[in-house]
Structure 1
Amino acid sequence: MDTATDEMNLKINITEDGPAARTLAITIPAEVVDERIEASYGNLQNQAQMRGFRKGKAPRHLLRKRFGQDVINETRGQLIMGAYQQAIQQNELRVVGDPDFPDELMEKPLEEGKEFSFEVSIEVAPEFDLPALENVAIKKPIFEIDESHVDNEMKQLAFRFGTPENIKKDFQPLDRLIGRASVDVEDHDGVFFETDKTLVVVPDVEDEGKGPVLGLLLEDLGERLEGAAIGSDIVFETVGPPAHERSELRDKKITINFHVTDCERITPLETETLVTTFGLEDEAMLRERLKLEIENRRDQEQRAAEREQVFEYLLDNTTLALPQKISEAQVARTIERQRMDLLYRGDNPEQVEKQLAEMRDQTQEQAINRLKLLFIMDKVARHFDIEVSDQEVNGRIAMMAQQRGERPDAVRTELQKTGGLQEVARQIMEHKAADRIVDQADVTEVPAADWNKEATEKAEKRKSGAGKKAASKKAAKKKTAKKAAKKTAGKAESKKKTTKKTK
């Protein structure tokens, strides 16, 4: 396919190397090369200060002699990036990840009077068809808020606003250990990562000893922390999840050396103090306020459950091939998107990190589905012409701040530092797109108990399926190893026999 852009009169040839892979062959005409080189010298002449000449008056031949190679290098870079951007825009290519330019491209000669050609490999968003978006079968879990829910919320609130106390040993569930950590990764020279402020929370009883450390889910965390005290050195060993957003950690042995420097235990506030903290008259008013907040969260959870079913429906009924070289940035986006979703639902930061660690520990198939969903929901949003306003982003930030008990400006500052504002906007876009499908779906109300049972069975089924695949893969690997060993042994025996014959 040959096209030409108006601005630079480029010649562009696009070759399809696969479902989502493209190679762009771009030729910049000689007259454009000359114009850009001349413009670069013109800019240099206006700015250069050379001995014996006033600013802007240095002769061109002296500039060429002294700065010629620098001008060529700078102009080459500008031409390449300018031509690449024009080629992408002209052909309306939705690029995924970073372009792959040849390593030697920046050494290729750029000469006046000659055209300049180069190639670049890219991956684009896959093309696919959406399934029917009307009358999707959706179940809506129904449950009523009772006093037990309020009691649990009171307990969590008392803990959140409790008084910290320094502890030196005999750690208990939910104690917060802080210390230095260094991470060593298989096949990586030197220390992979280190920090002086690592937080490790002793797993609660219901967590069955599992918990996250530096974003990695450890099955034996509780066991490793037994008998620890201030000054203890603890070694955690695990294997990087196959779906981790950092490729260098996937399936690699990871060793975390943790030195405990501090520990605090939270003493929950008494109910009376909690009431005073919120500026309310009595416990009844606090309980009523909490009940309203729980009901609001329940409504959010119901909507989230409906959206999850939309996501499952779209994944089950959409066929698309992911780009082969899907970037780590795309994988990280799925993690960050989940972080925003959990914070929006009102989970505290520690709960969020625990769930993200569990998410990283999921199967490769689940990770691929999360990536597919990024492309699917983007297309659904374009199908419905979904747009996100600044007002909506500010409203979502305010809601997240309220859930976390923080000021909106503090949450916004945090999101700006971590690049989370873009993910907030994307989350809103995806929610609006999914809600459009829910609003025209065939919705059936079901008791919350039935819904939870069904969700648990689905999770167990996925886990069981992943276990079988992993066992099968492991068995195949073992079989291959045995076969290789047998072959090697056979060769050794043959060599031995041959040696005897020679004698």
Structure 2
Amino acid sequence: MSVTETLNEGLKRAYKLIVTAQELDDKVNEKLTEAQPEIEMKGFRKGKVPMALLKKQFGQRLMGEAMQEAIDAKMGSHFEETGDRPAMQPEVKMTNEDWSEGDDVHVELAYEKLPDVPEVDFAKLKLERMVVKAGDDEVDGALKSLAENAQDFEDRKKGSKAKDGDQVVLDFVGRVDGEEFEGGAAEDFPLTLGSGQFIPGFEEQLVGVKAGDELDVTVTFPEEYGAEHLAGKEAVFSCTIKAVKAPKPAAIDDDLAKKFGAEDLAQLKAQVTERLEAEYAGAARAVMKRKMLDLLDETVSFDLPPSLVEAEAKQIAHQLYHDEHPEDHGHDHGEIEVTDEHTKLAERRVKLGLLLAEIGRAAEIEVSDAEMTQAVMNQARQYPGQERQFFEFVQQNDQMRQQIQAPIFEDKVIDHIAEQAKVADKEVSKEDLEKAVEALDQE
């Protein structure tokens, strides 16, 4: 098999490959020899069918398979010898379409190779990491929020009317077409008005009730309601109000701490402080990461595969179109124009993507099975009751696995760079950090 270079321009490469008729014949014979021991044919014992007869019977059928394997093998050898890594799937085209058995096969191979990415001296990168300490006001605010979430309710004065946010204790019996239905009745049920716990329209009709009131609440089950026999049906709930209670935030004390798994208030405060500062550190890391990527974009330069830039620009244009037109859920909007702005952003993304990938490869950075499993578990929690189906979907979908793996890999590369760069910690206020985070969204 011969290989002749026909194009070497920038990152573009093209070659002519010739697979000789003899090479194809040898490949077919090899496959027949491999299969011969298992072949049975009338008049011959198993494994004793003559090669000439096998070739007559199966040779033509195996020719296409042999041709593909021969071409794939030569392409593999070519990439191994040259060190080229295609940016996208190579184009492979058979040029002698009038080929018949006994002819050589002429193939054209074309691709864009990934560029040679220059090494980066990370020690020359100067970065600043914002550090925010959790102040007393932030800690007190977080404790107050915990107390509100752990709130209790106390009886309002006799005759008080229920307000939004109050708890109403009631008995109720629901009927559809005059008939009670399963799950439509309860006694001494505590319902917080405004919680959205009941069917839309139910809680709103209880605003203003008093203990001792009896009333009918009429609502319509949503069309997409889980129980098909109730979906879209009108229901009447006969309600008896037992009590009206006002919310009472829990006291910020040791008892509150124990509700959240801490030994006492001091330990709860320490946990809250740690959590707040971990949140600040995460935000500060995002700011530093952006600065790092900006520096890399400014200081590192190499050729970019046009095909990757074009594909990324189209993806950006498509995504921005749907961000601006959320009502358009389909893809029949026709071709979306790619602007210079889209292309410029695509060039940055492609450059940084290739750069981080090369840094990770050189540093032998990998995403472990444990890290991948944890990431999948985190995403599976977004689908309560369907976690198993989500796991199976990820296992069967290479693209989904890559989407989950990519940000983990990128974060590990960012950490690898930060460990070698000159990073100076700078203590700032929470407000300064918030402004820096807001600036990220505006860029």
TM-score (norm 2): 0.57
Deviation at 1:379, TM superposition (A): 2.5
2:442 maps to 1:453 = no
3-state DSSP of counterpart to 2:107: strand
2:8 maps to 1:26 = no
Deviation at 1:31, TM superposition (A): 4.7
- Measure, in 2, the Cα distance between the counterparts of 1:283 and 1:53: 89
C-alpha change, 1:400 and 1:28, in structure 2 (3 Å) is closer
Structure 2 partner of 1:315: 297
- Measure, in 2, the Cα distance between the counterparts of 1:281 and 1:133: 45
2:68 maps to 1:89 = no
Structure 2: runs of 5 or more not aligned:
151-191, 205-220, 225-230, 233-248, 317-340
Please, which of 68, 71, 74 is the counterpart of residue 80 of structure 1?
71
Deviation at 1:32, TM superposition (A): 3.3
Structure 1 partner of 2:106: 117
Structure 1 partner of 2:365: 387
Deviation at 1:41, TM superposition (A): 2.1
Structure 1 partner of 2:4: 13
C-alpha change, 1:278 and 1:148, in structure 2 (3 Å) is closer
Moved more, 89-98 or 426-435: 426-435
Please, which of 87, 100, 125 is the counterpart of residue 136 of structure 1?
125
Structure 1 partner of 2:29: 38
3-state DSSP of counterpart to 1:165: coil
Deviation at 1:317, TM superposition (A): 2.2
- Measure, in 1, the Cα distance between the counterparts of 2:95 and 2:250: 69
Deviation at 1:70, TM superposition (A): 0.8
Write the letter of the residue equivalent to 2:422. Answer: A
2:349 maps to 1:370 = yes
C-alpha change, 1:13 and 1:297, in structure 2 (3 Å) is farther
2:139 maps to 1:147 = yes
- Measure, in 2, the Cα distance between the counterparts of 1:56 and 1:396: 48
Q: Deviations over 1:154-206 (max 9, x none)?
A: 59999xxx99835446999xxxxxxxxxxxxxxxxxxxxxxxxxxxxxxxxxx
- Measure, in 1, the Cα distance between the counterparts of 2:271 and 2:259: 14
Deviation at 1:75, TM superposition (A): 0.7
Please, which of 413, 418, 422 is the counterpart of residue 433 of structure 1?
413
- Measure, in 2, the Cα distance between the counterparts of 1:152 and 1:28: 77
Deviation at 1:315, TM superposition (A): 1.4
Question: Is contact 1:140–1:445 with CA below 8 Å preserved after alignment?
Answer: yes
Structure in which a larger fraction of residues adopt helix: 1
Write the letter of the residue equivalent to 2:417. Answer: I
TM-score (norm 1): 0.51
Q: Which has the larger radius of gyration?
A: 2
3-state DSSP of counterpart to 1:27: strand
3-state DSSP of counterpart to 1:365: helix
Deviation at 1:281, TM superposition (A): 6.2
Q: Deviations over 1:269-288 (max 9, x none)?
A: x9799988866667776665
RMSD: 4.9
3-state DSSP of counterpart to 1:125: coil
Structure 1: runs of 5 or more not aligned:
1-9, 173-228, 233-259, 262-269, 335-361, 463-503
- After TM superposition, the structure 1 = structure 2 runs for residues 47-196 of structure 1, keeping only pairs within 5 Å, are 47-102=38-93, 104=94, 109=99, 111=101, 115-130=104-119, 132-145=121-134, 146-147=138-139, 150=142, 154=146, 165=197, 167-168=199-200
C-alpha change, 1:313 and 1:130, in structure 2 (3 Å) is farther
Structure 1 partner of 2:325: none
- After TM superposition, the structure 1 = structure 2 runs for residues 279-428 of structure 1, keeping only pairs within 5 Å, are 288-326=270-308, 363-383=342-362, 385-388=363-366, 390=368, 393-395=369-371, 397-398=373-374, 415-419=394-398, 421-422=401-402, 426-428=406-408
Deviation at 1:72, TM superposition (A): 0.8
Write the letter of the residue equivalent to 1:377. Answer: L
Write the letter of the residue equivalent to 2:300. Answer: T
- Measure, in 2, the Cα distance between the counterparts of 1:155 and 1:105: 75
Question: Is contact 2:15–2:109 with CA below 8 Å preserved after alignment?
Answer: yes
- Measure, in 1, the Cα distance between the counterparts of 2:74 and 2:258: 65
Deviation at 1:35, TM superposition (A): 2.2
Question: Is contact 1:150–1:287 with CA below 8 Å preserved after alignment?
Answer: no
Question: Is contact 2:28–2:59 with CA below 8 Å preserved after alignment?
Answer: no
Write the letter of the residue equivalent to 1:109. Answer: W
Write the letter of the residue equivalent to 1:62. Answer: L
Q: Deviations over 1:429-465 (max 9, x none)?
A: 43343334323225251525334434534643x4xxx
- Measure, in 2, the Cα distance between the counterparts of 1:402 and 1:290: 22
Q: Deviations over 1:113-143 (max 9, x none)?
A: x654312112221234355432323121221
3-state DSSP of counterpart to 1:141: strand
3-state DSSP of counterpart to 1:34: helix
Question: Is contact 1:330–1:371 with CA below 8 Å preserved after alignment?
Answer: yes
Write the letter of the residue equivalent to 2:38. Answer: Q
Write the letter of the residue equivalent to 1:12. Answer: V
3-state DSSP of counterpart to 1:117: strand
C-alpha change, 1:19 and 1:452, in structure 2 (3 Å) is farther
- Measure, in 1, the Cα distance between the counterparts of 2:346 and 2:309: 13
Deviation at 1:373, TM superposition (A): 1.4
Q: Deviations over 1:320-339 (max 9, x none)?
A: 343222299979999xxxxx
Question: Is contact 2:126–2:421 with CA below 8 Å preserved after alignment?
Answer: no
C-alpha change, 1:143 and 1:280, in structure 2 (3 Å) is closer
- Measure, in 2, the Cα distance between the counterparts of 1:20 and 1:365: 19
C-alpha change, 1:333 and 1:364, in structure 2 (3 Å) is closer
- Measure, in 2, the Cα distance between the counterparts of 1:42 and 1:78: 16
Write the letter of the residue equivalent to 1:430. Answer: E
